[in-house]
Structures are given as C-alpha cells and as structure tokens.
Structure 1
Amino acid sequence: MDEERKPLPKAPGRTATGARKASAKSARTRAREFALQALYQHLVGRNDAQSIDHFTRDLSGFHKADSVHYDALLHGCIERGQELDALITPLLDRKLQEISPIEHAVMWIGVYEFQNAADVPWRVVINECVELAKEFGGTDGHKYVNAVLNGLAPKLRAAEVEADKASGKARP
C-alpha cells in the first residue's frame, strides 16, 4: 500500500526549492545580487563600470535595492580587484582563472565587505555570500566561497572573529 507523501514544510521566507523569496530579501541583499550580476559582466565581458552601472539600474527590481551599498560594491570591487584577488589567491587550491566568475565575484563582494562594511558582522558577510553562491553559482560553489571567506575572516576581521570565538558564537 502506497503512503501518500506530504510535502516538506517550507521555511519562512523561502520557496519550495529553498531559495529566498523575493519579498523576504532586504535592500542590502538585493544590492549584493545586483552587484554580483554587474561584477559578473565586468569579469566575463570586461565591460567598464559606468556602462554596467547604467544597464543594471534599469533592471526590474533595482529600486528595491540599497543603491548606496550597490555603488560601493560595484565600484569598490572593480577599482580594487587586484588587491582583492591578492587576498583571495593564497586560499585557492587552483588558479584564479579556473574559478567560476560567479564565485570570483561573490568572493570579491565578501572581501570588500570585510574591509569596508564594518557595520555588517563577519558571519553575516559570509552567510550572505554563501547564499549568493547557492542562488547564482554552481552546485558546490557555495562551499568553496565559504571556505575562502572563513579563511580570510580571521585576517580581515581579527578582533571580531576572536570576540565571537571567545563568546562561543564562532568555532575556533
């Protein structure tokens, strides 16, 4: 006798596939998503920041994004791309050119936020970047992003990471 299968309950703010519902996304999360798309255009097409910016601002839903955070991510990551790559590269197990442009852009966003968005806790930076990689990247790309950003957090947010370890909020 076949038992009727009941669908698993959805987590609040998530679709049936586990992705975040559009309505549940914060303005900053949306800014990261638009910045990711823009950085992908830069990494793949080598398009300049101004052209990408004009195109991205015309996309549906951009008005719901934190445009100041988007600007900082887009322009900051492109301007400091070599510096960001220099921090990321030592933690890679392959050449940077072999990394998916999505994961590359997500790591840029994470490192940039570690360095320039002190109001965003380091664990939130990692979580947001892992979610971006899950939603837009390859099957296991989020694991790679997680490993690299977890490796950089103690260097780029030393005091914050140590405080979380001491309080038991983060694993040593």
Structure 2
Amino acid sequence: MKSKRRKARELAIQVLYSWQISKKIVLFETEKYVIEQNKKYSLDKIYFHKIVTGVIKNIFYIDKIIKKNISKKKNRLDYIEQAILRLASYEIIKRLDIPYKVIINEGIELAKIYGSNKSHKFINSILDKIITNKNNIKIKNF
C-alpha cells in the first residue's frame, strides 16, 4: 500500500503536469477535482496542497536550480520529467524534514511510473547533482 505522502506526490505530479501544459488552470479547482477523483485513496491533503502551491509559487527559482544542474535545455524536458524535477527540487530546498534519500527515491519511483523507460536514471542523476550543489543555492531567495 502506498503511503499518504506518496499518493500526494503522485497527484501533485498530475496537477503540475496539467498546469505546465495549460498555464491557465485554476489551481484551487484543479486540486479539488483531483482530490475528489481520488477520494478512495488515503492521501495527505495538506501536504498535497503545500507541495503543489509551493512549486508553483517558486517556479522561477526552482527552474533556475534545475537549469544549473542539467545539461539539456529545460524546455526540452518531457513534461513529466519536468514536473518530477520541480517537485523534488522544491522538497530538497524547502522540506528539510524529509531526508534527501527519500526525496530521490520518490522521484525515481514517480519517474518509473509516469516517465519514459530511462527517466528514472535521468531524474536520479539530476537530483543527486542538486543535492551535491545545494550549498551553493541561496535559500533566502526561495
């Protein structure tokens, strides 16, 4: 059985994916819809809301962090990979209560479920670089 936070991350990826494509979705309504469609699952709704709004609120800063640690152009990333990297980067910088190993593992698992067949290796590599270079990130801007 999946943890409540794992389910929150999965649903957050879906919302972020939709937001990345449309940029016009009404966040509150989308969150409400996703929760309603998944009410049979155990879900940490507070965490879900915090990570979705946290990523979107800090999107430009998060994208700068990703861009510094990636060789591909950000706009050439698959939308799913981009959503996973954005979510995990937010957790690395903002959620100090979550061990890095957990964040990387969650990112890898999400990539295995939703990404292409080699996405998990790519996600692992980028998240590892972000963590390695974390001391160079200016937290005050976040």
CA distance in 2: counterparts of 1:118 and 1:89, whole angstroms: 21
* Equivalent residue, structure 2, for 1:140: 118
Amino acid aligned to 2:121: K
Q: Which runs of 4+ in 1 moved over 6 A?
A: none
Counterpart of 1:155 (choices 133, 136, 141) is: 133
TM superposition shift of 1:62? 6.2
| Normalised TM-score (structure 2) | 0.88
Alignment of 1:38-77 (within 5 A): 38-46=15-23, 47-61=25-39, 64-77=42-55
Between Structure 1 and Structure 2, which shows a larger proportion of helix residues?
A: 2
Matched, 1:85 2:63: yes
CA distance in 1: counterparts of 2:29 and 2:133, whole angstroms: 34
Larger relative CO (CA 8 A, sep 6+): 1 or 2? 2
CA distance in 1: counterparts of 2:39 and 2:105, whole angstroms: 22
The count of corresponding residues between Structure 1 and Structure 2 is 135
CA distance in 2: counterparts of 1:44 and 1:55, whole angstroms: 17
Rg bigger for which structure? 1
CA distance in 2: counterparts of 1:97 and 1:91, whole angstroms: 14
Of 24-33 and 52-61, the range deviating more from structure 2: 52-61
Alignment root-mean-square deviation, CA: 1.6
| Normalised TM-score (structure 1) | 0.74
* Equivalent residue, structure 1, for 2:139: none
Sequence identity (%): 27
